[in-house]
C-alpha cells in the first residue's frame, strides 16, 4: 500500500528569516532568582592579610639582595690576567690589586674596562666574572712600530698611541719618525702611513731603515743605516722603488760618487744629485738616470 504525503502548495518550507522575533511564553510557575554559589567578596581583613604578604615578600627580597652584596664569599679576591706581554701583564695585575673591586655581583665591568684601556700599552681588554670571587682579564697589548721624535722619544703603535717614552734615543730596531713641523698637523695620518709602508717590506729591508723625515713641503725622506743619501719616496710602490734603489746604489756611487739625494717618486724616472765635497764648492746639478 502506498503512502502519500501531501503538503499545501502555498506552505513555506524554509523560514527565510531564522532570526525573526518569536513570541516568548512565560511559564505558569513562578521562578526564583538564583545567585552563583561560588562567588565570594573580599573583606577588609583579606586585603590587610594580602598587603602584609606582599610587604613580607619585598622585605625578603631586599634582605636577600643586601646579603648577596655584603657577603664576604662574593667579594673579588682573585684576578687572572692573560696577555702576550709579560710586562703589561704585571702592570695590569699590580693595578688591579691596588683597586677595591668590591662585590663581584655589582662590579661594573664596563667602567673597569674603560680604566684598564686608558693604561699605557693597552689596546683592548676583555673582562669576565667567574663566581664566586674571580675576575678574568684578557689584555691585548699594543705592538710597537716606530719611535716618534718630538722633543722626547716616544715608542708608538700603528695608531700613534704612546707605549713608552724616553729622554734619549733607546737602543732597538725601530725606525725613527721625525717631522719638520713637529707633527702639528696630520700626526695620526703620518704614523699610519709609515707603519703601512713598513708592513709591506721584507724583514731584512725593514731592518735597514733608520729614519723617516716629513719635510715642511710635504716630501717624505728615508734614511738607511750607514748611508747618508736622502731617498725621496711616497707611499705609492714604496717597497718596489726602495728595492730598486738598493739594487742600483752601488753602480750609481761608482758613476757619480757620493749622492746627496735620490728622487724615486716619478714612475720610470730617477733623479739624483751628487753630494758636494768639502774640497769642491762648485754647484752640482741634479741628473736623471734610467
The verdict on 179 and 262 lying in the same domain is yes
Residue of 87, 191, 112 lying closest to 147 (CA atoms): 191
- Of the candidates 227, 235, 219, 121, the one whose C-alpha atom is nearest the C-alpha of residue 178 is 219
Q: Is 7 inside a domain boundary?
A: no
Number of domains forming the structure of the chain = 2
Q: 46 or 161, which is more confident?
A: 161
Separation of alpha carbons 23 and 18, rounded Å: 13
Q: Which domain holds residue 155?
A: 146-289
pLDDT tens, 14-56? 555 555 555 555 565 665 555 555 566 767 887 888 888 899 8
Beta bridge partners of 253: none
Boundary-marking domain end, from 96, 111, 141: 141
Q: Which residues contact 67 (CB under 8 A, 6 or more apart)?
A: none
Residues 6+ apart with CB under 8 A from 275: 228, 229, 257, 258, 259, 260, 284
pLDDT in tens, 238-255: 999 999 999 999 999 999
- Picking from 141, 16, 27, the residue whose alpha carbon sits closest to that of residue 91 is 141
Residue 225 phi, psi dihedral angles, 5° rounding = -65, 135
Distance CA 51, CA 18 (A): 54
User: 135 and 247, same structural domain?
Assistant: no
Eight-state DSSP code of residue 144: P
Q: What percent of the chain has pLDDT over 70?
A: 81
Q: What is the mean pLDDT of residues 91-96?
A: 91
In a domain, 246, yes or no: yes
Domain harbouring 125, CATH code: 3.10.20
Give mean pLDDT, residues 60-75.
Answer: 83
Specify if 219 maps to a domain.
yes
pTM: 0.70
Q: In this structure, what DSSP letter does residue 75 have?
A: B
What average pLDDT does range 97-118 have in this prediction? 90
Can you name the residues that pair with 126 across neighbouring β-strands? 138
Among 99, 119, 141, the domain-final residue is 141
If asked whether residues 79 and 171 sit together in one domain, one would say: no
Q: What mean pLDDT comes out for the span 96-121?
A: 90
Provide the residue count of the chain: 290
Band of pLDDT at residue 1, cut at 50, 70 and 90: very low
Q: Are residues 84 and 191 in the same domain?
A: no
User: Are 246 and 135 members of one domain?
Assistant: no
Q: What is the pLDDT at residue 126? A: 95
Nearest to 239 by CA among 204, 214, 274, 276: 204
Residue 20 located in a structural domain: no
Amino acid at each position: 500500500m502506498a503512502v502519500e504525503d501531501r503538503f499545501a502548495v502555498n506552505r513555506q518550507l524554509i523560514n527565510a528569516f531564522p532570526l525573526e522575533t518569536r513570541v516568548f511564553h512565560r511559564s505558569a510557575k513562578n521562578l526564583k532568582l538564583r545567585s552563583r554559589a561560588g562567588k565570594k567578596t573580599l573583606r577588609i581583613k583579606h586585603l590587610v592579610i594580602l598587603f602584609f604578604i606582599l610587604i613580607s615578600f619585598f622585605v625578603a627580597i631586599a634582605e636577600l639582595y643586601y646579603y648577596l652584596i655584603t657577603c664576604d664569599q662574593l667579594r673579588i679576591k682573585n684576578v687572572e690576567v692573560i696577555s702576550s706581554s709579560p710586562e703589561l701583564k704585571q702592570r695590569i695585575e699590580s693595578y688591579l690589586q691596588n683597586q677595591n673591586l668590591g662585590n663581584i655581583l655589582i662590579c661594573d665591568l664596563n667602567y673597569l674596562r674603560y680604566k684598564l684601556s686608558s693604561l699605557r700599552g693597552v689596546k683592548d681588554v676583555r673582562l669576565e666574572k667567574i663566581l664566586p670571587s674571580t675576575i678574568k682579564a684578557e689584555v691585548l697589548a699594543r705592538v710597537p712600530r716606530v719611535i716618534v721624535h718630538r722633543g722626547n722619544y716616544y715608542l708608538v703603535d700603528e695608531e700613534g698611541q704612546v707605549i713608552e717614552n724616553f729622554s734619549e734615543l733607546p737602543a732597538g730596531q725601530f725606525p725613527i719618525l721625525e717631522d719638520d713641523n713637529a707633527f702639528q698637523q696630520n700626526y695620526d695620518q703620518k704614523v699610519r702611513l709609515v707603519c703601512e709602508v713598513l708592513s709591506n717590506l721584507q724583514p731584512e729591508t725593514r731592518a735597514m731603515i733608520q729614519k723617516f723625515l716629513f719635510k715642511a713641503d710635504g716630501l717624505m725622506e728615508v734614511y738607511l743605516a750607514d748611508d747618508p743619501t736622502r731617498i725621496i719616496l711616497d707611499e705609492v710602490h714604496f717597497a718596489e722603488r726602495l728595492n730598486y734603489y738598493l739594487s742600483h746604489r752601488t753602480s750609481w756611487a761608482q758613476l757619480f760618487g757620493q749622492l746627496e739625494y735620490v728622487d724615486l717618486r716619478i714612475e720610470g724616472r730617477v733623479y739624483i744629485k751628487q753630494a758636494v765635497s768639502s774640497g769642491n764648492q762648485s754647484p752640482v746639478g741634479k741628473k736623471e738616470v734610467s
